[in-house]
Amino acid sequence: MSHKCDSCEKEFDTYESMKQHSEAAHSGGQPATQGSQSRAAIKIPWYVPVLVVIIIAIAAFVILKPSTPQQATTAPSVPEGQPANYWTESFPFGTNPNLHWHAYPSFKLCGEDKTFLQILNMVGVKFVNGMAGPHVMHVHEGEPWFHIESPPPTRKAITLANAFKGLNIKFSNNGILNYQGTSGCNNNQTNSLKVSVDGKPVEDPENLVLQDKQKILIDYS
Ligand SMILES: [Zn+2]
Ligand SMILES: [Zn+2]
């Protein structure tokens, strides 16, 4: 007597061998499918590790990015041939308690001459007892120049950027006040900030160290 498989009509000598065949070849379909389904559910798609790497990379970029410009303003590079403590040592050298310097800024904004008094007026700098700004680098009402006074500060304390910062005047190598970037004059030309001291161009205006009798021309054009 032969036993026929219900699914493929193949014949077997015994019921047992037919059943074995039937289970192996046909009825196994459902459990096998379930198995592959559960494997598919657990399987991590190929792009997940890629996404994780991208997210970590973006997070690292966002966290690290602000520190770059910050470093640039808080720690300017030491000029060639100067000692490592150039920005932190007492300047001028020694501790002259009678230090009293004056530096004279003037302005040319998109071709228009402006005095320091006009700039102070534009910004609305408030004078208290006739003075504005920190003592180390202050201005007196009606006088278009900076006073740099003792105690002798570091060079970092008496840079041009810090002088303007003390008066809330927006200033960086990128521009001054609303004159910023490459199109601050709106004249279809590439604009930029140019600073010169006694007629000599300054490479890094932000970090120009103020000194006595300097005539500083701040030109944005
Ligand atoms: Zn003075
Ligand atoms: Zn003074």
Nearest-ligand number for the alpha carbon of 135: 2
Q: 57 lies in a domain?
A: no
Nearest-ligand number for the alpha carbon of 146: 1
Q: 88 lies in a domain?
A: no
More confident residue, 139 or 27: 139
pTM: 0.66
Nearest-ligand number for the alpha carbon of 136: 2
Q: 72 lies in a domain?
A: no
The contacts of residue 215 (CB under 8 Å, 6+ apart) are 104, 106, 197, 198
Distance from the alpha carbon of residue 163 to the mean position of ligand 2, in angstroms: 14
Q: 106 lies in a domain?
A: yes
Residue 185: pLDDT above 50?
yes
pLDDT at site 42: 66
Strands (E), the chain: 3-4, 11-12, 100-109, 112-114, 131-132, 137-140, 146-149, 171-172, 175-176, 179-180, 193-197, 200-201, 215-220
Distance from the alpha carbon of residue 102 to the mean position of ligand 2, in angstroms: 9
Distance from the alpha carbon of residue 119 to the mean position of ligand 2, in angstroms: 19
Q: Report the number of distinct structural domains present in the chain.
A: 1
Q: For residue range 33-87, what is the model confidence (pLDDT) as tens digits? A: 444 444 555 677 888 888 888 887 877 777 665 544 443 455 689 989 999 999 9
Q: 82 lies in a domain?
A: no
Distance from the alpha carbon of residue 211 to the mean position of ligand 1, in angstroms: 12
pLDDT band at 27 (very low <50, low <70, confident <90, very high): low
Distance from the alpha carbon of residue 150 to the mean position of ligand 1, in angstroms: 11
Q: 204 lies in a domain?
A: yes
Say which residue the tokens 């700098």 belong to.
Answer: 125
Q: For residue range 79-123, what is the model confidence (pLDDT) as tens digits? A: 899 999 999 888 877 778 788 999 999 999 999 999 999 999 999
Instruction: Please tell me the distance from the alpha carbon of residue 75 to that of residue 92, in angstroms, as a whole number.
Output: 19
Instruction: Please tell me the distance from the alpha carbon of residue 158 to that of residue 106, in angstroms, as a whole number.
Output: 17
Burial of 208 (0-12, 13-18, 19+ CB in 10 A): buried
Distance from the alpha carbon of residue 69 to the mean position of ligand 2, in angstroms: 33
Q: 159 lies in a domain?
A: yes
What is the domain range of residue 169? Answer: 100-220
Average pLDDT score, the chain:
85
Q: 45 lies in a domain?
A: no
Distance from the alpha carbon of residue 143 to the mean position of ligand 2, in angstroms: 10
Q: Calculate mean pLDDT across residues 119-140.
A: 95
